[in-house]
Amino acid sequence: MKKKLPVTLLALAILLSIYGCKVEDLQNADQPIPESVTQIIPSQFSGAEDILIKTVEKDSLWEATYSLNGLNYFTATDREQIVYNALITNTPAPDNVLKYIENSTIAGGTIDNMKVIQPNSFANEFVNYGEYLFQGKQYRIMWDRHMFKIRLSPHSKILLAGSSFSPNKDKLPSRIKQYLSDNYLSMTGYEIRYDNNNNKLYHVVAKSPTTIYWIRFNAQQKIVGTNFSPDQLFQTRDELPAAVKNTLQKQTFLSNLKFSGGRRNSTETGIVYGAVFTNNATAESLSLEFKPDGTPLWMEYSRY
């Protein structure tokens, strides 16, 4: 009897922690959150409080905030498990990151909402991230543990990463897999991104026997941008269409970089012009994409 009492108390404590915490659903009546989903966070993190859950993608992905031991987290779950868990640090970016940005092509923006992705998330090496406001647009800035690699790309609140080696390698839908297979490409890594409006984007890195490419697909799994198999190649900036050149001319921050190639891709969602700028001395690379009328579609900056 003496031995059974602590076990009973422990079980009671777990039950209380699961059912006693406050779970608030901010949902439309037509999109109720399944009971099983509301239980994922409390069962994983005993003592989690102030749980707020919202639907990101109907029947498949939910986002949530919660607090645990005085710390705040932003998380995402599928029907069974937590797939993304980030600590909201509320601290400024590290000095060496700030110093790097200050001396880089993307200087002049501000970093906010710093987070650190926690273990057991579907994550890649870029575990530190924040929001970077640059020239009036919001980007996701992220860097690895060693603060050696830095990436800037359009804002995404959730980024689920996988690779050909990770257990979640089969998360890509069949249409995307078929596209890769039809083109003799094999996936090496991918990101499934959701922006603030819950728009979904697949960013897939795939290799051929000789080359590595990236291909982005929208929620309907149609290509919206890629550097694979362009139908035109531009050796100089002058060869790009006038509308694209005009937009590039307004981007004064490009002055430290060298134009290293342009392309035109006829994608399933329209014609996309791409331009790549690099600075070999600083290991910076910037990839830009535009609609034929010069409207910017995508910007990705990296330093490796």
CB under 8 A: which stretch of 37-45, 117-125, 148-156, 226-234 binds another protein?
226-234
CB closer to another protein out of 24 and 239: 239
Q: Could you tell me which residues are beta bridge partners of residue 128?
A: 116, 143
- In the sheet that holds 200-207, the strands lie side by side as 158-163, 186-194, 200-207, 212-218, 223-226
d(CA 278, CA 285) in angstroms, rounded, equals 4
Among 46, 120, 178, 232, binds another protein (CB under 8 A): 232
Residue 100: CB atoms within 10 A of its CB come to 19
Residue 103: CB atoms within 10 A of its CB come to 8
**241 scored as a contact of another protein (CB under 8 A):** no
Q: How many residues contact another protein, by CB under 8 A?
A: 19
**115 scored as a contact of another protein (CB under 8 A):** no
Q: Give the angle 281-290-135 at the CA atoms, nearest 5°.
A: 65
**36 scored as a contact of another protein (CB under 8 A):** no
**263 scored as a contact of another protein (CB under 8 A):** yes
Beta carbons of 150 and 100 less than 8 angstroms apart: yes
Taking CB under 8 A as the rule, which mask of x and - marks residues 173-212 in contact with another protein?
---------xxx-----------------------xxxx-
Shortest distance in whole angstroms from residue 14 CB to another protein: 50
CB under 8 A: which stretch of 28-36, 90-98, 109-117, 227-235 binds another protein?
227-235
d(CA 208, CA 152) in angstroms, rounded, equals 25
Residues 6+ apart with CB under 8 A from 213: 185, 205, 206, 207, 226, 227, 228
DSSP string, 193-242: EE-TT--EEEEEEEE-SS-EEEEEEETTS-EEEESSS-SEEESSGGGS-H
Shortest distance in whole angstroms from residue 235 CB to another protein: 7
Shortest distance in whole angstroms from residue 211 CB to another protein: 4
CB closer to another protein out of 88 and 271: 271
Shortest distance in whole angstroms from residue 215 CB to another protein: 12
CB closer to another protein out of 200 and 264: 264
Among 45, 66, 202, 234, binds another protein (CB under 8 A): 234
CB under 8 A: which stretch of 25-33, 60-68, 162-170, 259-267 binds another protein?
259-267
* Residues near another protein, by CB under 8 A: 182-184, 208-211, 228-235, 239, 261, 263-264
